[in-house]
Amino acid sequence: MRRVPSLLVACLLLGATAAPAQPSPSSPAPAAPAPASSPASLSLASLPDEDGVAALLWERSPEFASARARVASSRSDLVRAGLMPNPELDLGLNTVPLGPTNPPGLNRWTEVPNYGVGISEQFELGKRGPRKDSARAALASTALDVQANLRTRTYDVLERAAEVATAEVRVAELEKLADDASRLTELQRARAQRGETAGLDADRSALEEAQLQGQLAEERNHLAEVLLTCSQTVGLACTPFGNREAASQFLATRLSRPLPEADVQQRPDLRSLEAQQHSARSALKLARRRWIPDPTLRAGYLRDQFVVSGNQLNSLGFTLTVPLPFFDHGQADALAASATAEAAERARLQLTAQAERDMTSLSAQRQAVEARRERVHTQTLPQASSLVQRLEAAVKAGGASMLDLLFARRTYGQLLMDAADLDLAAFRLSVSMERVRATGPKAPTELSEHF
């Protein structure tokens, strides 16, 4: 067995005492406390469950401020659909004489004109019911559409959190690799100065160190980008997990959860299309009832001052007006409503078929990724960790080269980053499958009361 030169052992001991402590695979360092959420920020380390994320988005995301206005507008349409037409009041002044009165000598203002006042009301026959049904279904469709958007944004936040977790894991590992690369460069330079190796090895180590430093800077920039995207989605400043252990735990917890049973027909977007179809059918029913005329009844009072001619001084009058729907009897509205109903039904059937295809494809992808994850976590990573531990013990005992240990730790770090990327891929597949299924967060009361 090769003996480690005394200079290498001294460098190892110096690095162990002067360099910041790095958690070994066998004994991870204590996790730093995660920052707590404040009213102006969201700590991903204390991210709530899906219902909590949805409630947070509903309250803080700018996107759903306008969604509330959409729901309120649909609700006002429902209120308006149930109201009767306003009555109309008319006032009249008639028989105002021009020129001499007949018979002559009458007062043209107190003995000739008549004054009338009347009130009229239109009575809709067979139309308010379908109109209310259409508006009620339209309100349900709007609320379900908003719930579908809220569901989508909730899963978006979970994916952004997973990206942040993966970036934090990669940053932590790249920091270790960069530190090891720096120590390796120093060792290679020391060996080159003593003539134990060519200067080319030291230059190659320096280039590898620069490459790792560049990857570290790029990964930190990516972490800042995904945090910004998370903040824009939530409407709060997203703060990272704070340590590698919390980030890894977030990914592992989600991936260990079993998938719920699929019930695609209960997805909010499909239910929204179903409600839209019902609204269009009610609108079609309303359009077909335009054949039924809506009569207008008028009741009026007349004071006729021309009593000298034998007219009645005070009288009441009643009028019934019936429109004749010869030309416009709702045929245009019927065409529009029929087309809307057919489009909603077609879209719902197509989305349902697409969901079934997506589930088949996503299930196959997840099985493949899970098989790779199991192999990496149960075989590859334990073997690499065991190798690093044995080399650490051998270096301390003087039976192995420090270079071998650094190379092994670099390989182990790369495997950990690959495992984090694999966890992210599995996380995304899990979220994609839940997007396809009928699962999702609980709807806010402002929405659920309408469907």
Phi (first) and psi of residue 378, to 5 degrees: -100, -20
List per-residue pLDDT tens for the chain, 451 residues long.
333 343 333 333 333 333 333 333 333 344 444 444 455 788 999 888 899 999 999 998 888 999 999 999 999 999 999 999 999 999 999 999 999 999 998 999 999 999 999 999 999 999 999 999 999 999 999 999 999 999 999 999 999 999 999 999 999 999 988 888 888 888 878 877 887 766 777 777 788 889 889 989 999 999 999 999 999 888 889 999 998 899 988 988 888 887 767 788 899 999 999 999 999 999 999 999 999 999 999 999 999 999 999 999 999 999 999 999 999 999 999 999 999 999 999 999 999 999 999 999 999 999 999 999 999 999 999 999 999 898 888 877 777 777 787 888 889 989 999 999 999 999 999 999 999 987 789 999 999 999 9
The answer to whether residue 53 sits within a structural domain is yes
How many residues are recorded in the chain? 451
The answer to whether residue 214 sits within a structural domain is yes
What's the pLDDT score for residue 198?
67
Domain count, the chain: 1
Query: In sequence order, what are the residues at sequence separation of 6 or more whose Cβ sits closer than 8 angstroms to the Cβ of residue 221?
Result: none
- The string of DSSP codes covering 105-146 is T--TTTTS-EEEEEEEEE--SS-HHHHHHHHHHHHHHHHHHH
Question: 348-393, pLDDT tens digit by residue?
Answer: 999 999 999 999 999 999 999 999 999 999 999 999 999 989 888 8
Reduce the DSSP state of residue 292 to 3 states and report it: coil
The answer to whether residue 4 sits within a structural domain is no
Can you give the CATH number for the domain in which 276 is found? Answer: 1.20.1600.10
Question: 218-257, pLDDT tens digit by residue?
Answer: 999 999 999 999 998 888 899 999 988 999 889 888 888 8
How far CA 444 is from CA of 73, 361, 448, 449, in Å, comes to 17, 32, 6, 9
The answer to whether residue 353 sits within a structural domain is yes
The answer to whether residue 27 sits within a structural domain is no
Domain span at residue 357 reads: 47-448
The answer to whether residue 72 sits within a structural domain is yes
Under 8 Å between Cβ of 90 and 61: no
The answer to whether residue 31 sits within a structural domain is no
What's the pLDDT score for residue 203?
79
Under 8 Å between Cβ of 46 and 34: yes
Q: Is the link from the previous residue into 100 a cis peptide, with omega within 30 of 0?
A: no
The answer to whether residue 30 sits within a structural domain is no
What percentage of the chain's residues is helix, strand, coil (to nearest 5)?
65, 10, 25
